[in-house]
Amino acid sequence: MRVIISGGGTGGHIYPAIAIANELKSINPSTEILFVGAEGKMEMEKVPKAGYSIIGLPVVGIRRELTVTNLVFPVKLGRSLLKAKAVVSDFKPDVVVGVGGYASGPVLLSASLAGIPTLIQEQNSYAGLTNKVLARWAKKVCVAYPEMDTFFSADKIKLTGNPVRKDIQFADQQVDTGRQFFALKPDLPTVLVIGGSQGARTLNESIEQGISAFVKAGIQVLWQTGTGFIDRARMAVAEAKTDLIRPFDFIYEMDKAYAVADVVVSRAGALSVSELCLVGRPAILVPLPTAAEDHQTKNAMSLVERNAALLVKDQVARTELVHKAIQLLGNNAKCAELKHNIKQLGKPNAAREIAEEVIRLAK
């Protein structure tokens, strides 16, 4: 079986794509998989590290405001369509999977026009523009949230959840290992702060301003800042003269980080929300207000409405976030309630279910 997996741009697209590829290989090791991404985007680095080949398209996104990028958009789209058509023709896939992002458009369109079955994986509770357009030709749409028939034909939808890395599912077995790995004190509570693969300025500035409050409360913090904020975070920690706050530009060992977390502070990207549901940790979500169609708020509300997470709006995070985290850590009953409710929303078999749909289409 030959499969093209296309899309990317963010970790929220890339990591589910890799999880699907790994599952396809697990079911049938002889499966041949080719990724197609966007030139210059993070998938061009992350996919080869996962052991897969990737081809880049020159496609770019269109901006809402007038920019130079918009002027070259039609040219790059045309070149991407031609290249995608050539890739599909050369590789001859049995099925093509789109995970969202700029690159999935030209590839899925080329496959559909060539009569090759396509499957879309939509991670968010509010469908992205690319997926909404491509869905009319897709044979199957795998979604992470219920009630997605607002965007897609009901007869094409399969509720699978978002695929995540397998090690995340076994985080509870890593508590002692995680404490040793991060050199944490077992008698102190721990907050994990994750702002997505590239960090989040609001979260970073909120934690920076709250360092003294965390230290005073005797709370340890694992703080993923992203590369752009790491030097500033390290300087702030040095000035506070504390070893309770641990800044990292990126945390690769997320299973261990989730394992030791008593509370998680996070953006509300689709992948982060899916991981939180699987590991079952009390969470405070701070949605990115500029996300397309405000989809992060919709992702967060799907948990908040089920009493499975708390929400702090981006515009008040700098004054309220740290206080709310400390308050939640002091409320064992609320933590237990959130932990129980969020765990009910986890979909541990998402990658397997999507892989099985891909195999059905290929046949």
CB 361 within 8 A of CB 117: yes
20 is in an annotated binding site: no
Nearest to 103 by CA among 197, 2, 34: 34
296 is in an annotated binding site: yes
10 is in an annotated binding site: yes
| Burial tier of 106 (Cβ tally within 10 Å: 0-12, 13-18, 19+) | buried
124 is in an annotated binding site: yes
On the CB side of 242, how many CA atoms lie within 13 Å of its CA? 23
End-to-end CA distance of the chain: 9
6 is in an annotated binding site: no
12 is in an annotated binding site: yes
Long-range contacts of 176-184 (CB under 8 A, 24+ apart): 177/256, 177/259, 178/253, 178/255, 178/256, 178/257, 178/259, 178/260, 179/260, 181/253, 181/256, 182/222, 182/246, 182/256, 182/257, 182/260, 184/220, 184/260
327 is in an annotated binding site: no
61 is in an annotated binding site: no
Nearest to 23 by CA among 136, 160, 148: 160
197 is in an annotated binding site: yes
271 is in an annotated binding site: yes
273 is in an annotated binding site: yes
A 10 A CB-CB count for 338 gives 24
272 is in an annotated binding site: yes
Residues annotated within a binding site: 10-12, 124, 165, 197, 251, 270-275, 296
Residues annotated within a binding site for UDP-N-acetyl-alpha-D-glucosamine: 10-12, 124, 165, 197, 251, 270-275, 296
